[in-house]
Structure 1
Amino acid sequence: MKVKHRFATSYCQVEGKLHKTLACNDKECDCSDHSCSNVSRSQECPPKCKKSCKNQFSRTRMDPIPFVIADAGEKGKGLFAKTHISKGTRLLYYAGEIISKAESLERLEKYEAEGVEHNYLYECGQFVCDPTKYGNAGKYANNSCYPNLETEQWKIHGTHKGYRAIFFTAVRDIPKGDELTIKYDFECDPSIERKCFCGEEICTGSLNKLPSEPNKRSKQSSGGASEKKKAKKS
């Protein structure tokens, strides 16, 4: 899947140095686990690392793509596994326009005035990723009170030191056909109720509330999601 990133003017206007990552010095290391000094620091290796380097997710095209965008009923569109996905598999780089936090507030007001039903703004360190009009499939990952994906923040060589790439990784084995879900971390007005439709036994019924038993799952549910009007997440 092609990652569609665009660094907006407001990103470029934020003062700060670029992050620089040194290549792993261990010739026997393929940079696939925490034995790699960069992986242990949640930062990608630079492009010029060794040929065997596997710590290049933001620059790697996943082929074949193990999921598909499909109808998720009352939740709108969602992501569904089209093959078995193993625990620990990194699936997505949340992509979009990278903007300053100040511009993100302006865009939220603009989208509301335009009647935009869903927004997908996601905090990525000191910045915000906005895939509303420019991005990839990551914006279709719906909410669940028992998500099968987790979000990870990684430093990327050559980007602003305050920027963090958002990766989606499987937290358990995911059977073919299950919906791929995350847990939204809202910054929202508590007076505005946002319904959750994930269908889990521990579902709170609201995006404003966290489940009390995050490790318990309904036997009748194979995944789940919520409405997709998201606030910023971190």
Structure 2
Amino acid sequence: MRIGFFGGSFDPPHLGHRALACLAADQLHLERVLLAPVGRQPLKHGDAAPFADRVAMLELAIAGDPRLEVSLADAPMPDGEPNYTVDTLRRLRRELPAGARLYCIMGADSFLTLGKWHDAVGLFAESDLVVGARPGFVLDHAALTLPPGVRVEGLAEDRPGCRGYTVQHPSGRSMLYLLPDLAEEVSATEIRTEHAEVDERLNPAVTGYIRTHGLYRARIANRNQNQGR
């Protein structure tokens, strides 16, 4: 069994998120991709849309593809502490059948901050990593951001749309897959601050949900007020 885990704020979930999940499923033949809104993101500050709204929007964003599934694995912690991806992966691994292979999916921007993640080295012990990026993303430079103790050994798989690298880490070896053909790469921050009645970067059902529930209006109002000074 091959399972993908794709965590993030999904604030809001946009076409780029779905494109990356589908690309990973296609290229790595994943049976399921778990998309998990994070309760509290350690590296981001500021108010996010309520967790329940982000879950609801994500359900709308991925509807129609049976491989994609919303997961509550990264739901808010009872004590209000941040959610750490490595801890979530460890819990998932305990729940998966013996022999299941786990893939942690992320965009290039997230990969470039990997050195700042909590127990980033531990990520490689729990799963293979899958990085989606636009054409032209160069792993040679990005590899410099890997945490101490982790290094890319060499190219192990090279085919159209997917390059797989063997990675050495203190617990052994795992794989790092680069998917360089991501067609949709959108900033959720831009959408939150520029959201209009119709937004081509979002599934129309997500746009409707945002409008119906009045999400992000305060942020847009604050932006307009600041620009008017």
State whether TM-score is above 0.5: no
More helix by share: 2
